[in-house]
């Protein structure tokens, strides 16, 4: 698909990443799909066709491997990279003392370092492509620290700060940077979690991966810095803006069984 617009997506093997790959591929984009699960990528390529999807197995924690993956994809795309979607992430929920040091380290390695590695690997190619976009997955837990998501919440605050700052810095390069904020999404990461906070029961898991993908599509064609998906995300943002730290008792009640 030489001449097609090109997007590189991490965490493309399932959930939001796979839904986003499908949406872009079906709208004529060349998709670079990356994930640690090579079998899932191959299945996605069989579904959508090798003409639309190029697979690049890589672990976002491995900077060099990700650089190679992005370079290989850009070569396939004829030297252009219109967008990168830093989507790969992990989630562990529960009281902070129950999250192991290994789980906390993994949260930082994937959700923080992985996003840095993804954007850094993509930047040289985004800079040479007119009207390029960076989109990263944040969370409503980046609006105010979320109980039973403490370290996860902190990693998403990092994504918020990074995308806000880079959107200012990258203006001189013609690159728009933004993040997507959403509450619980209907993915294995939520449904298969060993510990499910009370907020899941109270708020529900309402948002589909396809709805998030549709927001990523808008983000890649838009100029906003913050993209919120669903009523819950907008309500949390409004509550924090209105109440500030006074929102903490509300969060406490929502997380209490």
Q: Mind telling me the catalytic residues?
A: 152
Whole-angstrom distance, CA of residue 254 vs CA of residue 152: 17
Whole-angstrom distance, CA of residue 157 vs CA of residue 35: 23
Q: Work out the number of other CB atoms within 10 angstroms of the CB of residue 221.
A: 11
* Encoded tokens for 24: 């872009």
- Dihedral (CA of 204, 178, 113, 9) sign: positive
Judge whether 111 and 61 are in contact, CB under 8 Å. no
Judge whether 19 and 210 are in contact, CB under 8 Å. yes
For residue 135, which of 2, 23, 4, 3 has the smallest C-alpha distance? 23
Alpha-helix runs per DSSP H in 77-208? 101-108, 114-127, 150-169, 188-191, 198-203
């Amino acid at each position: 698909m030489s001449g097609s617009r090109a997007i590189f997506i991490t965490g493309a093997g399932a959930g939001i990443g796979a839904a986003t790959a499908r949406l872009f591929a079906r709208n004529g984009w060349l998709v670079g799909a990356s994930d640690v699960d090579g079998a899932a990528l191959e299945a996605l390529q069989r579904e959508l066709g090798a003409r639309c999807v190029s697979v690049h197995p890589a672990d976002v924690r491995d900077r060099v491997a990700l650089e190679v993956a992005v370079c290989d994809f850009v070569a396939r795309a004829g030297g252009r990279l219109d967008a990168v979607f830093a989507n790969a992430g992990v989630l562990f929920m529960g009281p902070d003392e129950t999250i192991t040091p290994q789980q906390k380290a993994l949260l930082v390695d994937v959700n923080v370092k992985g996003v840095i590695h993804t954007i850094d690997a993509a930047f040289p190619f985004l800079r040479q492509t007119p009207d390029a976009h960076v989109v990263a997955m944040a969370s409503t837990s980046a609006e105010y620290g979320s109980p039973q998501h403490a370290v996860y919440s902190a990693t998403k605050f990092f994504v918020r700060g990074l995308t806000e700052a880079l959107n200012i810095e990258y203006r001189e390069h013609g690159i728009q940077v933004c993040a997507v904020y959403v509450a619980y999404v209907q993915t294995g990461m939520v449904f298969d979690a060993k510990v499910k906070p009370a907020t899941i029961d109270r708020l529900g898991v309402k948002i589909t991966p396809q709805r998030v993908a549709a927001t990523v599509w808008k983000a890649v064609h838009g100029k906003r810095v913050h993209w919120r998906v669903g009523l819950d995300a907008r309500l949390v943002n409004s509550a924090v803006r209105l109440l500030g730290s006074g929102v903490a008792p509300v969060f406490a009640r929502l997380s209490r069984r």
